[in-house]
Amino acid sequence: MFIPKRVIFEKGSLDTEIGQNIYNKVKDNPKIEIINASSNRIKSNIPGDNLYEQYRSGKETLVVGERKSLKFQTCKPSANYQLPLVSGCMGRCEYCYLNTQLGDKPYVRVFVNIDEILKKAKQYIDERLPSVTIFEGAATSDPIPLEPYTNALKKTIEFIGKEEKGRFRFVTKYNDVDSLLDAKHNNHTEIRFSINTPKVIDIYEHHTASASKRIEAAVKVANAGYQIGFIIAPVFLYDNWKEEYRDLIKSIKDKLPHDFDKQIIFEVISHRYTTKAKNRILEIFPETTLPMNDDDRKFKYGQFGYGKYVYSKEELADMKDFFIKEIKYIFPNSLIKYVI
């Protein structure tokens, strides 16, 4: 659970059920500063003179407010729309894509008007009938650490459970899933866990759950009947990477009940970076050991002029071959969506 250093309540948010619930949870904690602010003053309440400090104080800040725009962003190719429940994340993964997305103060924000957001989701589902509409709940956040404050995931899972043509999916690096186990999901929600070798997690994924805790959480939600998936990402090709990623895949098998025979979905993504991300990371984590030496990588031109640095063709072919063989050997019944 996310324990912020400061909670900023935007105008009107304390008059809502979620706002009150959050206030009651934090009001007696002397270590949490409570700030009432009008929405245009959020950033001025978050201290920091440079990006390094602003990043850290932003990550310690919870903003409670209304989601004003109810237009959902598209989310291709994995889903039709992003479902805006939370934005930002308490985690401090050095390579996180949010580092370049959330500006100079990447605070965590929860929305108090979940009912309105779900009503809008219903409209999107109806507009696309008879097709199925898939919503992604973690496009700009990791929603799990906020769940004790909002109950938003459970509400969404049960809402989508009742929608014949609605589906929901989200991904997390956390393990606090107990409140979701009795949700009436009706097999309409897929929960993915982003995992990596213990070494990568220790070095780069600060303030997140360990690999074994994430896998234990995956087993719990699988036992509760949810479709589960694992995103192994970002894959780093360091000394001994094959042994360590093999052990990681085996550790999933070891934790599952022996008779578990449902299909598990795997997605595997190699490490890559853009120059913009690299520059931002070097400001926030000046001591980073992330492998970002351009000469060791291949430059791949992307859309809109945003190229990225990826592993070489031969390295990627070897990686693809390795993961497909290992996953299929350990989980013959699995679905490997992609290894890229």
Residues that bind ligand SF4 (CB under 6 A): 89, 91-93, 96, 98, 142, 173, 205, 208
Q: What H or E segment, with its residue span, contains residue 9? A: strand 6-10
Within a 10 A sphere around the Cβ of 178, how many other Cβ atoms? 12
Asked if residue 333 lies in contact with residue 261, where contact means CB atoms within 8 angstroms, the answer is: yes
Within a 10 A sphere around the Cβ of 12, how many other Cβ atoms? 14
- Cα–Cα distances (Å) from 327 to 178, 269, 287, 330, in that order, read 27, 14, 34, 5
Query: Is the CB of 190 or the CB of 205 nearer to ligand SF4?
Result: 205
**Distance in Å, CB of 99 to ligand SF4, minimum:** 8
Query: Is the CB of 93 or the CB of 327 nearer to ligand SF4?
Result: 93
Query: Is the CB of 2 or the CB of 331 nearer to ligand SF4?
Result: 2
Choose among 244, 239, 241, 219: nearest CA to 230.
219
Q: What H or E segment, with its residue span, contains residue 262? A: none
- How far, in Å, CA of 127 to CA of 142, rounded? 28
**Pairing state between β 92-93 and 205-206:** antiparallel
**Distance in Å, CB of 30 to ligand SF4, minimum:** 27
| Half-sphere CA count of 19, side-chain side, radius 13 A | 20
Helix (H, G, I), strand (E, B) or coil at 310: strand
Query: Is the CB of 174 or the CB of 266 nearer to ligand SF4?
Result: 174
Token match 């009107």: residue?
12
- Cα–Cα distances (Å) from 16 to 54, 108, 114, 203, in that order, read 29, 18, 10, 40
Token match 């990225």: residue?
308
Angle between helix axes 152-162 and 114-128 (nearest 10 degrees) is 30
